[in-house]
Each structure stands twice: as structure tokens, then as C-alpha cells.
Homo-oligomer: A and B are copies of this chain.
Amino acid sequence: MTTTHGPRTARRPSVTDVAKLANVSVGTVSNVLNRPERVADATRTRVEKAIAALSFVPNASARQLRAGTITTVGAVLLDIRNPFFTDMARGIEDRIALDDRTLMLASSDEDPKREMRYLRLFEEHGVSGLLVVPSTTEIDHLLAIVDRGLDVVLLDSPSPTPRISSVAVDNIEGGKLAAQHLLAMGHEEITFINGPHSIRQCRDRLAGVELAVQEAGKDPAEVITELTISSLDAAGGELAISSVLDEQGDAVPSAVFCVNDLVAIGVQRTMRRRGLEMVGHMAIVGYDDIDIASELALPLTSVRQPHHELGYRAADILMTAGTPEHVVFQPELVVRASSDPASG
């Protein structure tokens, strides 16, 4: 045995090294790698031995440069710590696995700069397609990517243009459902802890709330108090509700609608820490209906959206890439004790 454990800095073995060791040409090595049936058994075995001996790992960059093919799909999500998005990611993986693709994931943290950076990174690496939960309404950069010939599917956001596919949930309807419920429960005011309006979902949910208020014959300006936070997680919720409480000397708003469940959890946590009663005093409605919404100390009323299916469908569109498609799912209100003590 003459295996040489080279120093860690040694160049990776290449097809040429394998070819030399196996006494064949590089073409044959390539064939063993890609079309083994074209190679005689004896030769193939010899090459495979050489590959093992050198622990050769093909260089994906070189292969891709030459062959142009790639089996990787890129996805940029808003927040990887939000179960809603990781469930979606799982949906994507499940679908693309059927086509033998693998998923590379990145999180923009709702920052358009980061989104651009990752999009760029994926594009430079030549991914075969891109799934994006946009962090801003401005989608020129996505159109530019499409112009360059890459397939893009908007996730969890309707497409403002027929040229880009999208899979979304009706956020106006979602906001409406939440507000209608709170109004029906007799609340005269709704505090809406929302995200930045640059995020489409946030704008739409507000529009839905306004619609519900109007349809109830009331004035949105009088009913709705909107607070905007930049980080759509528990910390954001804590911040928002704290500012309200601080301002009002712990007088609690009668109804709070949160842009997502994580934010609602932050609100609940803050209330509890301050020793403030929620049941009977403050109704809370979240959004997404993440898995644990029903398991919370105060089970959370929430607007349910398909998680897994959203990702699966988007990936499906990407994989079958024909003319752009635009799918819209309908949300559903799930009432629990956080807004209705009488429930479950």
C-alpha cells in the first residue's frame, strides 16, 4: 500500500491524477463518473480504485463551468427562525427532491440589502432556480434576474407582474378575517402591530383590517392604531407592546392584532412579565398559525396559512417552469382563547 497522505495544503486530486493512476485517459475517468455503462467492467473497476485511493472528489465548479448543468435550487426566506418559513422550506425540499435537486437556504432577515446579496450569490453560483420571499415591494432586481434567463418564483407574495410566478396567500382576506373577528367580539379599537409597509404582506393585512372596519360602518382612522416594528419576531412584539403600555401607564388596549404569531408571543410574554391580565381584558390575534400556537399558555387565535404546501407548490412551479403561474391560497381564522375565552 502506497497511499500518500499529502499535507493539508496539497491541491485536490483532479481527473488527471485519477487518469494517471489508473492508466487511462481523462475522458474515460469522466465516463466512469457520468456514463459508467460505456466503460468496460475491468477499466471501470480500475478507475474506481484509483478514485478511492486518491479520495478524489469531483470539482463542481469545473463541471458546472463546462457542462452548464446544476442541480441546486436557492431560496431566500424572510426569517429562518420563524417556523412558518422553515415549514415552507421543508415543502420546497420535499418537492425538489423528486427531481433530485438540493436546496440551499438563506435568510434575509427582512433586509432588502441582505436579500440582494444572497440572490446575487445564488445567481453567481448558477443555481437552476430561485425561490424568494421578497423583503420589499420593489422587485426590479427580480425582474432583472428573470431577464437574465433564470426562473424565479415569488413565495408568500403575489406577483406584481405576470412575468414572475408567485404563490401567495390572500393577505387582505387574512387581515379582514382577523379584524372582523375582533369587531364581532365587540372591540371598538384595534391595535395592529404591523411590519414595515415595504413588505407586501404587511401592507395587505392592514388593507384587510381597514376593509373590515369600513364594512362594519366604522371609521378606520378611529378604530385602528397601527404600530410598526422592524423585526417581526417575539422581540419586536415585546418592544411594540411595551411602548404602548409605557405610554398609557399600563392601560391595556382591548384588542391587539399581530402581524405574525412570533410577535404575538412576544406580546403575551410582556403582559405576563408586567403582571397584566389578558383574558377578559385584551384580545390577541396572531398570524400564520404556527404549530405551537395552540399549545401556548394562552392559546393563540391566529390566521392560518398553508405552510408546507406554499413551499411545495412554489417549488413545483419552478420545476415544471412553463408560463408563469399565479397561485393564491385562502387563509382561515382559527379562534382560540387569546381572543375568545369561551372557546376551546
Contact = CB atoms under 8 A, between A and B. Distances in A.
Interface of A: 5, 8-10, 12, 55, 57-65, 72, 80-81, 83, 86-87, 89-90, 93, 102-107, 117-118, 120-121, 123-126, 144, 146-149, 234, 265, 268-269, 291-292, 294-299
How many of these chains are in the complex? 2
A102 to B, nearest CB: 6
Among A65, A72, A292, A298: residue with most chain B CB under 10 A: A292
Given A61-B61, A124-B60, A106 B106 contact: no
A126 B60 contact: yes
A324 B298 CA distance: 47
Given A55-B147, A295-B268, A86 B90 contact: no
Contacts of A292: 265, 292, 296
Contacts of A104: 104-106
19 contacts: A8-B149, A12-B149, A60-B61, A61-B61, A80-B86, A80-B89, A80-B105, A81-B83, A81-B90, A86-B86, A93-B107, A102-B117, A103-B106, A104-B105, A105-B105, A234-B291, A268-B295, A292-B292, A295-B296
Given A104-B106, A297-B295, A125 B89 contact: no
Given A103-B106, A106-B102, A59 B126 contact: yes
Contact of A81 (B10, B59, B86, B107): B86
Nearest to A82: B86
A61 to B, nearest CB: 4
A108 to B, nearest CB: 11
A179 to B, nearest CB: 25
Contacts of A144: 55
B268 A126 contact: no
